[in-house]
């Protein structure tokens, strides 16, 4: 009887979703260089589980997993200070650095190879307008940055620390300041952003930009 129940449970989950969840978790662990104790990885583990539960076909089991997800999500919020709901769309190699005070709207979308840090908010600009940013690939978001509203962030973009971004940012740009000033990126920074551990990319590139420095928009990481 137990075998029958287990078979019914397992067959109620589509093979694609079974494999994709574990593949995503393994990929996340590789992104964190095998450091399973990193709080960012814990957040991604709960996030992947939350996405996976939608694939469970028996409604009763799906409700049970949904309850488990809600409990795990609340616990991970308390432990890490990160709110990443499973309704948000997140690509591969998503890195959460320096956990704490991170809020991501369920309406937000991220491409591949994105990085966020403590104090970042990606969400609604107005409560009555449920629209959040759509973020491309290879986007690095600095500490304390706020990305708000129905905006689009292109690929290979750097968002500086404490920047407030409320307008579209084209690909291959850097956004710094309050409100954010958008500048083209230097070719060197594009090469270094992810390949060479360029963790402070938004701030370091801005320090090399005289226009940003003169206007007092240089931020301390």
The residue extents of the domains of the chain are 1-83, 87-221
Check whether 75 has a pLDDT greater than 60. yes
Q: What is the pTM of this model?
A: 0.74
**Per residue in 38-55, pLDDT tens?**
999 999 999 999 999 888
Contact between 219 and 181 under an 8 Å Cβ cutoff? The reply is no
Long-range contacts of 81-87 (CB under 8 A, 24+ apart): 81/118, 82/39, 82/40, 82/43, 84/43, 84/44, 84/47, 85/47, 85/50, 86/47, 86/49, 86/50, 86/51, 86/53
Side by side, the strands of the sheet bearing 109-110 are: 109-110, 134-135, 152-153
**HSE-up (13 A, CA, CB side) for residue 210:** 0
Give the pair of three-digit tokens for residue 218: 């240089």
| Torsion of the alpha carbons at 51, 56, 59 and 64, rounded to the nearest 10 | -60
Contact between 205 and 158 under an 8 Å Cβ cutoff? The reply is yes
Cα separations in angstroms, 101 against 72, 79, 97: 18, 11, 11
Q: State the pLDDT at residue 215.
A: 41
Check whether 95 has a pLDDT greater than 50. yes
Q: State the pLDDT at residue 126.
A: 86
What angle is formed at CA 17 by the lines to CA 102 and CA 134, rounded to 5 degrees?
35
Domain spanning 87-221 has what CATH number?
A: 2.160.10.10
């Amino acid at each position: 009887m137990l075998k029958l129940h287990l078979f019914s449970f397992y067959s109620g989950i589509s093979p694609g979703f079974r494999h994709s969840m574990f593949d995503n978790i393994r990929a996340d662990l590789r992104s964190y260089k095998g450091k399973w104790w990193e709080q960012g990885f814990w957040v991604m583990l709960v996030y992947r589980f939350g996405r996976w539960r939608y694939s469970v076909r028996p409604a009763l089991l799906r409700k049970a997993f949904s309850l488990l997800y809600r409990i795990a999500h609340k616990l991970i919020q308390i432990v890490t200070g990160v709110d990443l709901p499973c309704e948000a769309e997140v690509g591969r190699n998503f890195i959460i650095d320096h956990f704490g005070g991170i809020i991501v709207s369920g309406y937000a979308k991220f491409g591949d190879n994105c990085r966020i840090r403590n104090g970042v908010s990606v969400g609604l600009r107005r409560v009555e307008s449920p629209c959040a940013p759509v973020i491309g690939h290879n986007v690095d978001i600095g500490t304390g940055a706020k990305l708000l509203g129905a905006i689009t962030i292109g690929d290979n973009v750097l968002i500086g620390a404490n920047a407030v971004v409320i307008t579209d940012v084209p690909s291959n740009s850097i956004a710094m300041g309050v409100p954010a000033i958008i500048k083209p990126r230097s070719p060197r920074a594009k090469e270094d952003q992810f390949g060479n551990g360029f963790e402070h990319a938004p701030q370091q590139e801005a320090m090399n930009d005289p226009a940003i420095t003169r206007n007092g928009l240089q931020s301390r990481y």
